[in-house]
Amino acid sequence: MAHKKSYLSGARINPEPIRGGMTVDRLIDETFLAYNGGRLQQACRLYAEKMLRDEVTVGVTLSGALTPAGVGRSCIIPLIKSGFIDWIASTGANLYHDTHFGLGMSLHRGSHEVDDTELKREGVIRIYDILFDYNVLLDTDDYLRTIMAEKPFCKDMGTAELHYLLGKYLAAREEKLGVEDSCVLTAAYRAGVPCYVSSPGDSSIGMNVAELAMRGVGPRIDVSRDVNETAGIVYAAKQSEGKSGVLMFGGGSPKNFALQTEPQIQEILGLTDRGHDFFIQITDARPDTGGLSGATPAEAVSWGKVDPDLLKDSVVVYTDSTIAAPLLTAYALARAKPRRHKRLYDRRDELVDKLRVDYLAQQERKAARKAPAR
């Protein structure tokens, strides 16, 4: 019976009835008390109360077809503009479909219970219950190939520079139309938020880059630059009492790409670090089938991805990102003050140089220890 009191020390579950006009943040705090509702409340509070402190560098990952569902415009753009996202790792598909919005194209709510054979005949594309004209793809592809054949793109670059340039061109288009932040790429461009894609060939943007390569023009993607830039961001974040946090919508390659920054620093480069300080994942996958992209927070500790002393500052919410993202965004905007943009895009070379200097110094020390005594 010695531990009985500690087991029963949590707040009593006795919520007041929900009433009309409750704000989202109060609804979450007062009624999301158990199961995945409880985990979502934990995630909202961890994000707003700890991860959004000025000393924390926040990386966000995007998997699944979130931008076609409007999550980019409804959630990611407000978070970027408030300084609540410092860098992004995304599937290429999310940034490709994000471009439709930047070009003023239409995606429509529909039904998942439709005849796909008929949609094919009618020239309609379906992403579950999202429907749009096939010409949206063709016109977006034509726009991307046209601008990516221009001189600023025709060189070696990482995916952050590629998406920064795409954002720059789309932002110029917005200015002509008198609109602002029509898509994630333009919001990220204006805020200096670098957007990485871990598998740049696995999307329509990558396919269009490949078409340009057949003609000997366009960008040549340097994936090693992406690995070193993201590792440099996280390494710098942990210096001088700083911290690193990751907020992951879904799993897949973007999740691993954001988390592998710590093994890159520790295992590959041999530099001292202890893993990310804060870890939030929204997922509908399961760890026992191998579908949770390789890591619950506890498992991630064994890889050096998460600081073992800060495992309490990690939450996995088992739900749909299209449910959790709007709630978490509304909570953060209500509870946290806007932050100054860190503009990590502008500092990429500086951060990689710092990583390189420390790595080479560490290599010299290692070589000196192995050298035979004279």
Point out the residues that are catalytic.
305
Map tokens 């004209």 to a residue: 133
Please state, in angstroms and rounded to a whole number, the distance separating the CA atoms of residues 150 and 169. 11
Q: Which helix (H) or strand (E) holds 157?
A: strand 156-157
Residue (of 92, 94, 98, 91) closest to 253 by Cα position: 91
Nearest to 61 by CA among 310, 279, 326, 323: 279
DSSP string over 277-340: SEEEEEE---GGGT-STT--HHHHHHTTSB-GGGGGGEEEEES-HHHHHHHHHHHHHHHS----
Tokens encoding 77: 């753009």
The token duo for 313 is 């500052």
Q: Which helix (H) or strand (E) holds 249?
A: strand 243-249
